[in-house]
Structure 1
Amino acid sequence: MKTLKIFKQKALDDLYGYLNRTEISTIKNLFSTDSSNWVKGWFEKEFKDEMWFFESNLSYEPVNLNGAIEYDFENAVALHESLPLTRVQAVDERLWAYLSAVEYWNYTQKRWPLEFDSASDSSLQTRVLTRHLLKTDSTNDRPFLRNSISRLWWVVEMTKDDERKDKYELTKIILSNTDLYLQIMERSFFRHEEVIKGILELFSEMGEDVYLKNRYYRQVIKEVNVMSGIVLLDFLSKEDFKKYVRQNLSA
Protein backbone atom coordinates (compact mmCIF):
# COMPACT_ATOMS: atom_id res chain seq x y z
CA MET A 1 0.00 0.00 0.00
CA LYS A 2 1.12 3.55 -0.73
CA THR A 3 0.22 6.82 0.90
CA LEU A 4 -1.82 8.93 -1.49
CA LYS A 5 -0.02 12.15 -2.36
CA ILE A 6 -1.86 15.31 -3.39
CA PHE A 7 -0.80 18.56 -5.06
CA LYS A 8 -0.64 21.60 -2.82
CA GLN A 9 -3.12 24.16 -4.10
CA LYS A 10 -0.50 26.86 -4.70
CA ALA A 11 1.68 24.40 -6.59
CA LEU A 12 -1.21 23.33 -8.80
CA ASP A 13 -2.19 26.95 -9.46
CA ASP A 14 1.43 27.73 -10.41
CA LEU A 15 1.47 24.78 -12.81
CA TYR A 16 -1.85 25.81 -14.38
CA GLY A 17 -0.56 29.34 -14.82
CA TYR A 18 2.57 28.12 -16.56
CA LEU A 19 0.73 25.76 -18.91
CA ASN A 20 -1.79 28.48 -19.77
CA ARG A 21 0.80 30.99 -20.88
CA THR A 22 3.56 28.84 -22.36
CA GLU A 23 3.86 27.89 -26.03
CA ILE A 24 2.73 24.48 -27.24
CA SER A 25 6.22 23.68 -28.52
CA THR A 26 7.55 24.08 -24.98
CA ILE A 27 4.81 21.81 -23.63
CA LYS A 28 5.75 19.22 -26.24
CA ASN A 29 9.33 19.21 -24.97
CA LEU A 30 8.10 19.10 -21.39
CA PHE A 31 5.86 16.10 -22.06
CA SER A 32 8.38 14.22 -24.19
CA THR A 33 9.35 11.97 -21.30
CA ASP A 34 7.50 8.70 -20.67
CA SER A 35 7.72 9.14 -16.92
CA SER A 36 6.25 11.52 -14.37
CA ASN A 37 9.63 13.13 -13.81
CA TRP A 38 8.59 16.18 -15.82
CA VAL A 39 6.45 17.37 -12.89
CA LYS A 40 9.22 16.97 -10.34
CA GLY A 41 11.74 18.49 -12.74
CA TRP A 42 9.55 21.51 -13.46
CA PHE A 43 8.94 22.30 -9.79
CA GLU A 44 12.62 21.83 -8.91
CA LYS A 45 13.51 24.28 -11.65
CA GLU A 46 10.81 26.88 -11.02
CA PHE A 47 10.25 26.55 -7.25
CA LYS A 48 13.36 24.78 -6.00
CA ASP A 49 12.81 25.37 -2.29
CA GLU A 50 9.05 24.77 -2.19
CA MET A 51 7.30 21.48 -1.50
CA TRP A 52 4.71 20.95 -4.25
CA PHE A 53 2.74 18.05 -2.75
CA PHE A 54 1.70 16.68 0.62
CA GLU A 55 0.89 13.23 1.92
CA SER A 56 -2.74 12.57 2.77
CA ASN A 57 -4.05 10.15 5.38
CA LEU A 58 -5.32 7.85 2.63
CA SER A 59 -3.66 4.65 1.44
CA TYR A 60 -4.14 2.87 -1.86
CA GLU A 61 -2.67 0.11 -3.99
CA PRO A 62 -1.51 1.40 -7.41
CA VAL A 63 -2.86 -0.63 -10.33
CA ASN A 64 -1.62 -1.19 -13.85
CA LEU A 65 -3.76 0.71 -16.34
CA ASN A 66 -3.78 -0.15 -20.04
CA GLY A 67 -3.84 2.92 -22.29
CA ALA A 68 -5.90 1.28 -25.05
CA ILE A 69 -9.52 2.49 -25.24
CA GLU A 70 -10.90 -1.07 -25.24
CA TYR A 71 -9.62 -1.49 -21.68
CA ASP A 72 -11.65 1.40 -20.22
CA PHE A 73 -13.97 -0.95 -18.35
CA GLU A 74 -11.21 -3.07 -16.81
CA ASN A 75 -9.23 0.07 -15.93
CA ALA A 76 -12.23 1.75 -14.32
CA VAL A 77 -13.12 -1.21 -12.11
CA ALA A 78 -9.52 -1.81 -11.03
CA LEU A 79 -8.97 1.87 -10.22
CA HIS A 80 -12.21 2.25 -8.28
CA GLU A 81 -11.50 -0.84 -6.20
CA SER A 82 -8.01 0.48 -5.41
CA LEU A 83 -9.17 3.94 -4.25
CA PRO A 84 -11.49 3.83 -1.21
CA LEU A 85 -12.67 7.43 -1.47
CA THR A 86 -15.81 9.14 -0.25
CA ARG A 87 -17.65 11.27 -2.79
CA VAL A 88 -16.59 14.39 -0.91
CA GLN A 89 -12.93 13.37 -1.23
CA ALA A 90 -13.48 12.54 -4.89
CA VAL A 91 -14.21 16.16 -5.87
CA ASP A 92 -10.74 17.40 -4.94
CA GLU A 93 -8.99 18.57 -8.10
CA ARG A 94 -5.58 18.40 -6.37
CA LEU A 95 -5.91 14.66 -5.84
CA TRP A 96 -6.88 13.79 -9.41
CA ALA A 97 -4.36 16.18 -10.94
CA TYR A 98 -1.60 14.43 -9.00
CA LEU A 99 -2.78 10.97 -10.00
CA SER A 100 -3.15 11.84 -13.69
CA ALA A 101 0.04 13.89 -14.02
CA VAL A 102 2.32 11.93 -11.70
CA GLU A 103 1.23 8.49 -10.48
CA TYR A 104 -0.52 7.45 -13.71
CA TRP A 105 1.26 9.72 -16.17
CA ASN A 106 2.21 6.91 -18.54
CA TYR A 107 -1.43 5.86 -18.80
CA THR A 108 -2.62 9.46 -19.28
CA GLN A 109 -0.23 10.02 -22.17
CA LYS A 110 -1.21 6.79 -23.92
CA ARG A 111 -4.98 7.10 -23.42
CA TRP A 112 -5.16 10.82 -24.23
CA PRO A 113 -2.16 11.59 -26.47
CA LEU A 114 -1.43 15.11 -27.61
CA GLU A 115 -1.49 15.27 -31.41
CA PHE A 116 1.03 18.07 -31.77
CA ASP A 117 1.29 17.80 -35.57
CA SER A 118 -2.43 18.02 -36.37
CA ALA A 119 -4.39 19.64 -33.55
CA SER A 120 -4.71 23.37 -32.98
CA ASP A 121 -2.88 25.05 -30.12
CA SER A 122 -6.15 25.86 -28.35
CA SER A 123 -7.40 22.27 -28.48
CA LEU A 124 -4.05 20.99 -27.23
CA GLN A 125 -4.13 23.50 -24.39
CA THR A 126 -7.63 22.34 -23.45
CA ARG A 127 -6.65 18.68 -23.49
CA VAL A 128 -3.64 19.36 -21.25
CA LEU A 129 -5.76 21.18 -18.66
CA THR A 130 -8.70 18.75 -18.74
CA ARG A 131 -7.32 15.28 -19.51
CA HIS A 132 -3.74 15.52 -18.27
CA LEU A 133 -4.61 17.65 -15.24
CA LEU A 134 -7.98 18.79 -13.87
CA LYS A 135 -9.07 22.39 -14.09
CA THR A 136 -12.29 22.75 -12.12
CA ASP A 137 -15.29 24.65 -13.38
CA SER A 138 -17.64 26.00 -10.72
CA THR A 139 -20.61 25.77 -13.08
CA ASN A 140 -20.68 21.98 -13.50
CA ASP A 141 -19.00 18.65 -12.75
CA ARG A 142 -17.68 18.08 -16.26
CA PRO A 143 -13.97 18.41 -15.36
CA PHE A 144 -14.19 15.34 -13.11
CA LEU A 145 -15.70 13.38 -15.99
CA ARG A 146 -12.88 14.31 -18.38
CA ASN A 147 -9.71 13.99 -16.33
CA SER A 148 -7.94 10.78 -17.38
CA ILE A 149 -8.18 9.20 -13.92
CA SER A 150 -11.17 10.74 -12.14
CA ARG A 151 -13.48 9.82 -15.06
CA LEU A 152 -12.68 6.14 -14.46
CA TRP A 153 -13.45 6.35 -10.74
CA TRP A 154 -16.64 8.38 -11.11
CA VAL A 155 -18.22 6.27 -13.85
CA VAL A 156 -17.96 3.20 -11.61
CA GLU A 157 -19.14 5.12 -8.56
CA MET A 158 -22.31 6.22 -10.38
CA THR A 159 -23.13 2.95 -12.14
CA LYS A 160 -22.12 -0.02 -9.97
CA ASP A 161 -25.12 -1.76 -8.42
CA ASP A 162 -24.58 -4.24 -5.60
CA GLU A 163 -28.14 -5.53 -6.02
CA ARG A 164 -27.46 -6.91 -9.50
CA LYS A 165 -25.99 -10.35 -10.13
CA ASP A 166 -23.07 -8.60 -11.81
CA LYS A 167 -22.66 -5.32 -9.94
CA TYR A 168 -20.62 -3.91 -12.82
CA GLU A 169 -23.10 -4.80 -15.58
CA LEU A 170 -24.26 -1.20 -16.01
CA THR A 171 -20.67 0.06 -15.90
CA LYS A 172 -19.79 -2.28 -18.73
CA ILE A 173 -22.69 -0.94 -20.83
CA ILE A 174 -21.76 2.73 -20.47
CA LEU A 175 -18.08 2.10 -21.16
CA SER A 176 -18.76 -0.06 -24.20
CA ASN A 177 -19.32 3.01 -26.37
CA THR A 178 -17.53 6.36 -26.11
CA ASP A 179 -20.46 8.39 -27.43
CA LEU A 180 -22.81 6.65 -25.01
CA TYR A 181 -20.55 7.68 -22.12
CA LEU A 182 -20.53 11.30 -23.29
CA GLN A 183 -24.29 11.41 -23.84
CA ILE A 184 -25.01 10.19 -20.31
CA MET A 185 -22.17 11.36 -18.06
CA GLU A 186 -21.85 14.87 -19.44
CA ARG A 187 -25.52 15.76 -19.11
CA SER A 188 -27.09 17.95 -16.44
CA PHE A 189 -28.58 14.90 -14.74
CA PHE A 190 -25.13 13.46 -13.93
CA ARG A 191 -25.70 13.87 -10.19
CA HIS A 192 -28.92 11.81 -10.34
CA GLU A 193 -27.58 8.32 -9.75
CA GLU A 194 -31.01 6.68 -10.02
CA VAL A 195 -31.55 8.33 -13.40
CA ILE A 196 -28.23 7.12 -14.77
CA LYS A 197 -28.88 3.60 -13.53
CA GLY A 198 -32.43 3.75 -14.87
CA ILE A 199 -31.18 4.69 -18.35
CA LEU A 200 -28.62 1.89 -18.33
CA GLU A 201 -31.14 -0.62 -17.03
CA LEU A 202 -33.41 0.34 -19.93
CA PHE A 203 -30.57 -0.35 -22.35
CA SER A 204 -29.88 -3.68 -20.63
CA GLU A 205 -33.54 -4.65 -21.05
CA MET A 206 -33.62 -3.47 -24.68
CA GLY A 207 -30.43 -5.26 -25.67
CA GLU A 208 -27.54 -3.94 -27.77
CA ASP A 209 -29.30 -4.70 -31.06
CA VAL A 210 -31.97 -2.14 -30.13
CA TYR A 211 -30.30 0.72 -28.28
CA LEU A 212 -27.15 0.78 -30.45
CA LYS A 213 -29.01 0.55 -33.76
CA ASN A 214 -28.85 3.93 -35.47
CA ARG A 215 -27.71 5.28 -32.10
CA TYR A 216 -31.21 4.88 -30.67
CA TYR A 217 -29.77 5.60 -27.23
CA ARG A 218 -29.60 9.26 -28.26
CA GLN A 219 -33.37 9.36 -28.65
CA VAL A 220 -33.75 7.84 -25.18
CA ILE A 221 -31.44 10.41 -23.63
CA LYS A 222 -33.19 13.21 -25.53
CA GLU A 223 -36.43 12.08 -23.92
CA VAL A 224 -34.78 12.11 -20.49
CA ASN A 225 -33.63 15.69 -21.06
CA VAL A 226 -37.17 16.73 -21.96
CA MET A 227 -38.51 14.90 -18.92
CA SER A 228 -36.03 16.62 -16.60
CA GLY A 229 -37.67 19.92 -17.43
CA ILE A 230 -41.10 18.61 -16.45
CA VAL A 231 -40.56 16.15 -13.59
CA LEU A 232 -38.39 16.44 -10.47
CA LEU A 233 -36.00 13.58 -11.12
CA ASP A 234 -34.99 13.37 -7.44
CA PHE A 235 -38.43 12.00 -6.56
CA LEU A 236 -38.59 9.25 -9.17
CA SER A 237 -37.69 5.65 -8.45
CA LYS A 238 -35.83 3.73 -11.14
CA GLU A 239 -38.99 1.79 -12.01
CA ASP A 240 -41.13 4.94 -12.27
CA PHE A 241 -38.42 6.59 -14.33
CA LYS A 242 -38.18 3.69 -16.77
CA LYS A 243 -41.96 3.48 -17.08
CA TYR A 244 -42.18 7.21 -17.82
CA VAL A 245 -39.50 7.03 -20.52
CA ARG A 246 -40.99 3.95 -22.18
CA GLN A 247 -44.43 5.57 -22.31
CA ASN A 248 -43.10 8.70 -23.96
CA LEU A 249 -40.93 6.81 -26.43
CA SER A 250 -43.91 4.79 -27.61
CA ALA A 251 -46.28 7.76 -27.72
Structure 2
Amino acid sequence: MPKLYLEHNKLLELKGNIQTNLELYKSDESWLGQELSVTPSNSAQLKVTDLKKRSADDLDNAIRIYTCYKDLPYTLASDQNYWALLTHIEYWQFMRERWPIEEAQGDPEKFIKTRYFFGQKGMYRNGLSRLWWYVELTYDEAMADPYKYTKLLLEDQDLAGQTIENKYLSRNKVAMRALFEILDYVGKQQKVGAIQILTGKQRRNLVRDAAQYFNLSGVVEMWDILSSKEAQEKLTLWVNAYLKEIGVYISSTTQKIF
Protein backbone atom coordinates (compact mmCIF):
# COMPACT_ATOMS: atom_id res chain seq x y z
CA MET A 1 0.00 0.00 0.00
CA PRO A 2 1.52 3.35 -1.01
CA LYS A 3 2.49 5.57 1.91
CA LEU A 4 1.93 8.82 0.03
CA TYR A 5 0.29 11.55 2.04
CA LEU A 6 -0.22 15.17 1.09
CA GLU A 7 0.97 17.64 3.71
CA HIS A 8 -1.94 19.72 4.97
CA ASN A 9 -0.39 23.08 4.09
CA LYS A 10 0.07 21.84 0.52
CA LEU A 11 -3.52 20.64 0.44
CA LEU A 12 -4.76 24.07 1.52
CA GLU A 13 -2.54 25.71 -1.09
CA LEU A 14 -3.84 23.50 -3.90
CA LYS A 15 -7.45 23.82 -2.86
CA GLY A 16 -7.14 27.57 -2.53
CA ASN A 17 -5.56 27.98 -5.96
CA ILE A 18 -7.90 25.84 -8.07
CA GLN A 19 -9.01 28.79 -10.19
CA THR A 20 -5.40 29.76 -10.87
CA ASN A 21 -4.48 26.17 -11.73
CA LEU A 22 -7.44 25.39 -14.01
CA GLU A 23 -5.28 24.96 -17.10
CA LEU A 24 -3.00 22.56 -15.20
CA TYR A 25 -6.01 20.29 -14.62
CA LYS A 26 -6.19 19.87 -18.39
CA SER A 27 -2.62 18.61 -18.60
CA ASP A 28 -1.90 15.02 -19.61
CA GLU A 29 1.03 14.99 -17.19
CA SER A 30 0.75 15.11 -13.42
CA TRP A 31 2.08 18.58 -12.70
CA LEU A 32 2.02 17.92 -8.96
CA GLY A 33 3.95 14.70 -9.50
CA GLN A 34 6.61 16.65 -11.37
CA GLU A 35 6.73 19.25 -8.61
CA LEU A 36 7.10 16.62 -5.86
CA SER A 37 9.31 14.28 -7.96
CA VAL A 38 6.83 11.41 -7.69
CA THR A 39 6.06 9.28 -10.73
CA PRO A 40 2.47 8.07 -11.21
CA SER A 41 2.18 4.30 -11.63
CA ASN A 42 -1.57 3.52 -11.49
CA SER A 43 -0.83 0.65 -9.10
CA ALA A 44 -4.49 -0.50 -9.02
CA GLN A 45 -4.59 -0.48 -12.85
CA LEU A 46 -7.74 1.63 -13.03
CA LYS A 47 -9.11 2.12 -16.54
CA VAL A 48 -11.70 3.88 -18.66
CA THR A 49 -12.57 1.81 -21.72
CA ASP A 50 -15.55 3.78 -23.02
CA LEU A 51 -15.19 7.56 -23.25
CA LYS A 52 -18.85 7.83 -24.22
CA LYS A 53 -19.90 6.09 -21.02
CA ARG A 54 -17.18 6.82 -18.51
CA SER A 55 -19.00 5.06 -15.66
CA ALA A 56 -18.97 1.70 -17.49
CA ASP A 57 -15.88 0.47 -15.62
CA ASP A 58 -16.86 1.73 -12.17
CA LEU A 59 -17.61 -1.73 -10.80
CA ASP A 60 -14.37 -3.20 -12.09
CA ASN A 61 -12.39 -0.18 -10.91
CA ALA A 62 -14.03 -0.26 -7.49
CA ILE A 63 -12.97 -3.89 -7.04
CA ARG A 64 -9.47 -3.12 -8.33
CA ILE A 65 -8.85 -0.19 -6.01
CA TYR A 66 -10.36 -1.98 -3.01
CA THR A 67 -8.20 -5.03 -3.65
CA CYS A 68 -5.12 -2.84 -3.92
CA TYR A 69 -5.94 -0.90 -0.72
CA LYS A 70 -7.92 -3.52 1.17
CA ASP A 71 -6.03 -2.92 4.42
CA LEU A 72 -6.46 0.84 4.30
CA PRO A 73 -7.35 2.05 7.82
CA TYR A 74 -10.43 4.23 8.20
CA THR A 75 -8.27 7.13 9.36
CA LEU A 76 -6.80 7.31 5.85
CA ALA A 77 -9.88 6.11 3.98
CA SER A 78 -11.74 9.17 5.25
CA ASP A 79 -8.81 11.58 4.96
CA GLN A 80 -8.85 14.19 2.20
CA ASN A 81 -5.05 14.59 2.31
CA TYR A 82 -4.58 10.96 1.37
CA TRP A 83 -7.01 10.78 -1.55
CA ALA A 84 -6.13 14.22 -2.90
CA LEU A 85 -2.54 13.12 -3.44
CA LEU A 86 -3.67 9.96 -5.21
CA THR A 87 -6.03 11.87 -7.52
CA HIS A 88 -3.30 14.36 -8.40
CA ILE A 89 -0.42 11.94 -8.89
CA GLU A 90 -0.80 8.15 -8.68
CA TYR A 91 -4.03 8.04 -10.69
CA TRP A 92 -3.77 11.28 -12.63
CA GLN A 93 -4.27 9.66 -16.04
CA PHE A 94 -7.32 7.76 -14.81
CA MET A 95 -8.77 10.93 -13.31
CA ARG A 96 -8.18 12.79 -16.58
CA GLU A 97 -10.11 10.11 -18.45
CA ARG A 98 -12.86 9.51 -15.89
CA TRP A 99 -13.34 13.07 -14.61
CA PRO A 100 -12.01 15.51 -17.27
CA ILE A 101 -12.74 19.09 -16.30
CA GLU A 102 -13.37 19.90 -19.96
CA GLU A 103 -16.67 18.05 -19.54
CA ALA A 104 -17.54 19.48 -16.14
CA GLN A 105 -21.13 20.61 -15.91
CA GLY A 106 -21.47 23.90 -14.13
CA ASP A 107 -18.64 25.48 -12.16
CA PRO A 108 -15.29 23.76 -12.99
CA GLU A 109 -13.81 24.88 -9.67
CA LYS A 110 -16.60 23.17 -7.75
CA PHE A 111 -16.17 20.11 -9.97
CA ILE A 112 -12.47 19.89 -9.09
CA LYS A 113 -13.15 20.38 -5.38
CA THR A 114 -15.68 17.55 -5.50
CA ARG A 115 -13.79 15.00 -7.62
CA TYR A 116 -10.12 15.76 -6.95
CA PHE A 117 -10.51 16.82 -3.30
CA PHE A 118 -13.41 16.46 -0.85
CA GLY A 119 -16.40 18.68 -1.60
CA GLN A 120 -19.64 19.03 0.34
CA LYS A 121 -20.32 15.29 0.11
CA GLY A 122 -16.82 14.49 1.33
CA MET A 123 -15.23 11.14 0.54
CA TYR A 124 -18.33 9.81 -1.23
CA ARG A 125 -17.87 12.05 -4.29
CA ASN A 126 -14.08 12.05 -4.64
CA GLY A 127 -13.10 10.32 -7.89
CA LEU A 128 -11.13 7.58 -6.11
CA SER A 129 -12.37 7.29 -2.54
CA ARG A 130 -15.96 6.81 -3.75
CA LEU A 131 -14.85 3.61 -5.50
CA TRP A 132 -13.12 2.28 -2.39
CA TRP A 133 -16.11 3.05 -0.17
CA TYR A 134 -18.54 1.41 -2.62
CA VAL A 135 -16.82 -1.88 -1.90
CA GLU A 136 -15.98 -1.29 1.75
CA LEU A 137 -19.67 -0.77 2.55
CA THR A 138 -20.85 -3.77 0.54
CA TYR A 139 -18.12 -6.43 0.52
CA ASP A 140 -19.04 -9.64 2.36
CA GLU A 141 -16.43 -12.40 2.27
CA ALA A 142 -18.90 -14.85 3.83
CA MET A 143 -21.00 -14.86 0.65
CA ALA A 144 -20.41 -17.11 -2.38
CA ASP A 145 -19.88 -13.89 -4.34
CA PRO A 146 -18.34 -11.36 -1.92
CA TYR A 147 -19.18 -8.58 -4.39
CA LYS A 148 -22.87 -9.41 -4.75
CA TYR A 149 -23.99 -6.26 -2.95
CA THR A 150 -21.36 -4.14 -4.72
CA LYS A 151 -22.82 -5.22 -8.05
CA LEU A 152 -26.34 -4.40 -6.88
CA LEU A 153 -25.19 -0.98 -5.68
CA LEU A 154 -23.52 -0.08 -8.96
CA GLU A 155 -26.32 -1.18 -11.25
CA ASP A 156 -27.48 2.45 -11.15
CA GLN A 157 -25.12 5.40 -10.58
CA ASP A 158 -27.86 7.58 -9.12
CA LEU A 159 -28.85 4.84 -6.70
CA ALA A 160 -25.24 4.25 -5.75
CA GLY A 161 -24.74 7.89 -4.84
CA GLN A 162 -28.10 8.11 -3.11
CA THR A 163 -27.31 5.03 -1.03
CA ILE A 164 -23.79 5.68 0.20
CA GLU A 165 -24.45 9.37 0.78
CA ASN A 166 -27.26 8.52 3.18
CA LYS A 167 -25.60 9.06 6.56
CA TYR A 168 -27.69 6.44 8.34
CA LEU A 169 -27.20 3.70 5.75
CA SER A 170 -23.50 4.32 5.22
CA ARG A 171 -22.88 3.96 8.95
CA ASN A 172 -24.94 0.81 9.45
CA LYS A 173 -23.92 -2.22 7.40
CA VAL A 174 -26.88 -4.28 8.60
CA ALA A 175 -29.33 -1.70 7.28
CA MET A 176 -27.26 -1.22 4.11
CA ARG A 177 -27.28 -4.94 3.34
CA ALA A 178 -30.97 -5.15 4.17
CA LEU A 179 -31.54 -2.53 1.48
CA PHE A 180 -29.56 -4.61 -1.02
CA GLU A 181 -31.70 -7.64 -0.23
CA ILE A 182 -34.75 -5.52 -0.99
CA LEU A 183 -33.28 -4.46 -4.33
CA ASP A 184 -32.31 -8.04 -5.10
CA TYR A 185 -35.82 -9.22 -4.27
CA VAL A 186 -37.40 -6.53 -6.42
CA GLY A 187 -35.12 -7.48 -9.31
CA LYS A 188 -36.13 -11.13 -9.04
CA GLN A 189 -39.81 -10.23 -8.91
CA GLN A 190 -39.40 -8.18 -12.07
CA LYS A 191 -37.65 -11.06 -13.85
CA VAL A 192 -40.44 -13.54 -13.10
CA GLY A 193 -43.11 -11.03 -14.07
CA ALA A 194 -44.68 -10.73 -10.62
CA ILE A 195 -44.32 -6.95 -10.62
CA GLN A 196 -43.97 -4.27 -13.25
CA ILE A 197 -40.48 -2.99 -14.09
CA LEU A 198 -39.77 -0.11 -11.74
CA THR A 199 -38.81 3.14 -13.42
CA GLY A 200 -35.68 5.01 -12.40
CA LYS A 201 -37.79 7.38 -10.30
CA GLN A 202 -39.60 4.48 -8.64
CA ARG A 203 -36.28 2.80 -7.79
CA ARG A 204 -34.92 6.02 -6.33
CA ASN A 205 -38.10 6.46 -4.30
CA LEU A 206 -37.78 2.87 -3.10
CA VAL A 207 -34.28 3.54 -1.79
CA ARG A 208 -35.36 6.82 -0.21
CA ASP A 209 -38.41 5.28 1.47
CA ALA A 210 -36.49 2.19 2.59
CA ALA A 211 -33.85 4.43 4.15
CA GLN A 212 -36.58 6.38 5.90
CA TYR A 213 -38.09 3.12 7.14
CA PHE A 214 -34.72 1.99 8.51
CA ASN A 215 -34.28 5.34 10.20
CA LEU A 216 -37.69 5.31 11.83
CA SER A 217 -37.59 1.68 12.88
CA GLY A 218 -34.05 2.14 14.11
CA VAL A 219 -35.34 4.59 16.71
CA VAL A 220 -37.38 1.77 18.26
CA GLU A 221 -35.11 -1.21 17.72
CA MET A 222 -31.63 -0.97 16.27
CA TRP A 223 -31.11 -2.99 13.09
CA ASP A 224 -27.69 -4.09 14.18
CA ILE A 225 -29.08 -6.08 17.12
CA LEU A 226 -31.72 -7.94 15.11
CA SER A 227 -31.12 -11.58 14.27
CA SER A 228 -31.01 -12.54 10.61
CA LYS A 229 -34.46 -14.15 10.91
CA GLU A 230 -35.96 -11.08 12.58
CA ALA A 231 -34.53 -8.77 9.93
CA GLN A 232 -35.88 -11.03 7.17
CA GLU A 233 -39.37 -11.01 8.66
CA LYS A 234 -39.42 -7.23 9.02
CA LEU A 235 -38.19 -6.72 5.49
CA THR A 236 -40.61 -9.20 3.98
CA LEU A 237 -43.56 -7.42 5.54
CA TRP A 238 -42.33 -3.96 4.62
CA VAL A 239 -41.33 -4.51 1.00
CA ASN A 240 -44.46 -6.47 0.06
CA ALA A 241 -46.65 -3.78 1.62
CA TYR A 242 -44.64 -1.08 -0.15
CA LEU A 243 -44.91 -2.72 -3.59
CA LYS A 244 -48.63 -3.23 -3.08
CA GLU A 245 -49.08 0.39 -2.09
CA ILE A 246 -47.38 1.73 -5.23
CA GLY A 247 -49.49 -0.64 -7.35
CA VAL A 248 -46.85 -2.59 -9.26
CA TYR A 249 -47.97 -6.14 -8.51
CA ILE A 250 -49.20 -7.98 -11.60
CA SER A 251 -50.63 -10.79 -9.49
CA SER A 252 -51.69 -10.88 -5.85
CA THR A 253 -48.91 -13.33 -4.99
CA THR A 254 -46.42 -12.09 -2.42
CA GLN A 255 -43.28 -13.94 -1.43
CA LYS A 256 -40.49 -13.80 1.09
CA ILE A 257 -37.41 -11.81 0.25
CA PHE A 258 -34.98 -14.52 1.21
1:214 partner amino acid: T
Structure 2 residue 47 is the aligned partner of structure 1 residue 66: yes
2:127 alignment partner, one of 148, 159, 162: 148
Runs of 4+ in 1 over 3 A off after TM superposition: 208-212, 232-243
Q: Given that residues 84 and 116 in structure 2 are in contact (C-alpha distance below 8 angstroms), is that contact kept between their aligned partners in structure 1? A: yes
| 1:191 aligned residue | 171
Q: Give the superposition deviation at 1:40.
A: 4.3
Query: Partners of 1:211 and 1:195 in 2: how far apart?
Result: 25
- 3-state secondary structure, aligned to 2:100: coil
- 3-state secondary structure, aligned to 1:126: helix
- 3-state secondary structure, aligned to 2:44: coil
| 2:244 aligned residue | none
Higher strand share: 1
Query: Partners of 2:151 and 2:187 in 1: how far apart?
Result: 13
Q: Give the superposition deviation at 1:180.
A: 1.4
Query: Partners of 1:197 and 1:170 in 2: how far apart?
Result: 7
1:250 partner amino acid: N
| 1:17 aligned residue | 16
Q: Give the superposition deviation at 1:94.
A: 0.8
Q: Encode CA deviations 1:43-96: one digit per residue, 9 max, x unaligned.
A: x5xxxxxx799xxxxxx9812111331111111111111112122331121111
Query: Partners of 1:34 and 1:234 in 2: how far apart?
Result: 47
Structure 2 residue 198 is the aligned partner of structure 1 residue 213: yes
| 2:62 aligned residue | 76
| 2:236 aligned residue | 246
Q: Given that residues 8 and 81 in structure 2 are in contact (C-alpha distance below 8 angstroms), is that contact kept between their aligned partners in structure 1? A: yes
Q: Given that residues 44 and 68 in structure 2 are in contact (C-alpha distance below 8 angstroms), is that contact kept between their aligned partners in structure 1? A: yes
Structure 2 residue 27 is the aligned partner of structure 1 residue 33: yes
Q: For residues 157 and 90 of structure 1, do their structure 2 counterparts lie closer, same or farther at Cα, with a shift above 3 Å needed?
A: same
Q: Given that residues 131 and 147 in structure 1 are in contact (C-alpha distance below 8 angstroms), is that contact kept between their aligned partners in structure 2? A: yes
Query: Partners of 2:23 and 2:148 in 1: how far apart?
Result: 41
Alignment of 1:1-251 (within 5 A): 3-19=2-18, 22=19, 26-36=20-30, 38-40=31-33, 44=35, 62-67=43-48, 68-83=54-69, 84-115=71-102, 119-120=105-106, 123-135=107-119, 142-189=121-168, 190-207=170-187, 209=190, 213-215=198-200, 216-221=202-207, 222-231=209-218, 232-237=222-227, 239-251=229-241
Q: Give the superposition deviation at 1:105.
A: 1.1
- 3-state secondary structure, aligned to 1:213: coil
- 3-state secondary structure, aligned to 1:145: coil
| 2:248 aligned residue | none
Query: Partners of 1:119 and 1:219 in 2: how far apart?
Result: 25
Query: Partners of 1:3 and 1:219 in 2: how far apart?
Result: 40
Q: Specify every segment of 5 or more residues in structure 1 that has no aligned partner in the other structure, as ranges.
A: 45-50, 54-59
- 3-state secondary structure, aligned to 1:144: coil
Query: Partners of 1:112 and 1:211 in 2: how far apart?
Result: 35
Q: Specify every segment of 5 or more residues in structure 2 that has no aligned partner in the other structure, as ranges.
A: 49-53, 242-258
Q: Given that residues 198 and 238 in structure 1 are in contact (C-alpha distance below 8 angstroms), is that contact kept between their aligned partners in structure 2? A: no
Q: Given that residues 76 and 152 in structure 1 are in contact (C-alpha distance below 8 angstroms), is that contact kept between their aligned partners in structure 2? A: yes
Q: Give the superposition deviation at 1:16.
A: 1.0
